[in-house]
Amino acid sequence: MADYLKAREQGCPIAGVRYEDLVAEPEATLRKVFQHCGIPLSLVARGLPAMGRYSQKGSPFDQQRVRKYAKDQSTYELNEKHQQDLKILCQATGIPDLLVNDVLPGTL
């Protein structure tokens, strides 16, 4: 993330996309990505089917796999210690506090 912010500061035309936006509004978000990349918007319909596939399926990050092995569902929530650790990590790496600002500059 720090590299992303540094690249933007140096004028690199890089843009971010929030996962939540991809899930909530896949077509609108894909249109923004295509527009940013200079890809004809007429091709959005061809790209939409990829938005319906779960990219983590079968990986160690697959939520079905994680839930299967998790004993306590509360492990998915950030408790106070997790939040404090995240705040320290953000400060140490020079990135914005993700608990306060989850939308970085340049997010489409």
CB-hemisphere CA count at 13 Å for 11? Answer: 0
* pLDDT at residue 70 in the model: 62
SS3 52: coil
- pTM for the complete prediction? 0.57
Q: Evaluate if residue 41 carries a pLDDT over 90.
A: yes
**Predicted pLDDT at 38:** 92
**What is the per-residue pLDDT for 94?**
76
Query: Predicted confidence band at 6 (pLDDT cuts at 50, 70, 90)?
Result: confident
**pLDDT above 90 coverage of the chain, percent:** 18
Angstrom distance (rounded) from CA 14 to CA 27: 20
For residue 4, the SS3 value is helix
| Reported confidence tier of residue 46, pLDDT bands at 50, 70, 90 | very high
Per-residue pLDDT band for 101 (boundaries 50, 70, 90) equals low
Can you give the pLDDT at residue 102? 66
Length of the chain: 108
- The CA distances from residue 19 to 80, 84, 85, in Å, are 24, 23, 22
**CB within 8 Å of 13: residues ≥ 6 apart:** 36
